[in-house]
Structure 1
């Protein structure tokens, strides 16, 4: 797994229509889930109460918040592509996102990304990516969707 180096619009455009890569696995721990609950004020028992989740849920334990897994997108994407020479990067749009499967505590997840399109909007690169958050040893991804980043390159 090698990280792609992107320094300008042309570097990015060469990957249009192609899979760009797969990130390393990231383990979602109970500590991370608890911190996310504190940050978002989402204290639903399925995320925090291990004993209750073990006995009352179909998952056999706690699960990550769906939005926690989405919030990992920029981190995991940066493992696939190193975008340099930037003034700014903007998380612009989630065009579609479907949660397919819950992510159990201590699961390993990784991001797979394909560049669907890239457009030059007066010097700003608009990159639409098809993404899938894969769960180790699972055939079904946690989610699939299309996201858009805006890259303001220096030149």
Structure 2
């Protein structure tokens, strides 16, 4: 269930809010192959199931940056906006890949608002996204995403 924010005041008051978890997503070889095609990273641990079966992980694994990119997929499942003039991705901090994500794994996003700061007419919001792997104690990715949101003025 996504949390809806309709004003700057609501978002400012949400610092520390646990946004919950998304639905599970099956990480398929097709998704990994498409990412390899898009980025040119065709390393065998990602795209050669036969060779990867005897490799260090026992199967193909997702690219770290594919796992990171899932944060963008999960964010709107965690947060929705009404009355928004504009939202932009400003970057990220504290990126880590604690565990490899094997093909066939199910992953989901867990979000927490760790910071909200006024930046002129916008709010800069830091949301920590953990890409959880079903059955694993360690996540595949943890990243502090940074976004800037500008709300429309509230009409009286």
TM bucket normalised to smaller:
over 0.9
* Paired residues of 2:21 and 2:78 also in contact (CA < 8 A): yes
Which of 97, 100, 103 is equivalent to 1:102?
A: 100
- Runs of 4+ aligned residues of structure 1 deviating over 4 Å after TM superposition are none
Once residues 68 and 83 of structure 2 are traced to their aligned partners in structure 1, the CA distance between those partners, rounded to angstroms, is 25
Pairs aligned (count) = 153
**The residue matched to 1:39 in structure 2 has which SS?**
helix
Which stretches in structure 2 are left out of the alignment for 5+ residues? none
* 1:20 matches 2:19: yes
Once residues 89 and 39 of structure 1 are traced to their aligned partners in structure 2, the CA distance between those partners, rounded to angstroms, is 25
Q: Counterparts of 1:1-150 in structure 2 under 5 Å?
A: 2-55=1-54, 57-150=55-148
Aligned to 2:151: 153
Which stretches in structure 1 are left out of the alignment for 5+ residues? none
Once residues 154 and 112 of structure 1 are traced to their aligned partners in structure 2, the CA distance between those partners, rounded to angstroms, is 28
**The residue matched to 2:20 in structure 1 has which SS?**
strand
- Measured on the aligned residues, the alpha-carbon RMSD in Å equals 1.3
Q: TM-score, normalization: structure 1?
A: 0.92
* Paired residues of 2:68 and 2:143 also in contact (CA < 8 A): no
* Paired residues of 2:124 and 2:147 also in contact (CA < 8 A): yes
Q: TM-score, normalization: structure 2?
A: 0.92
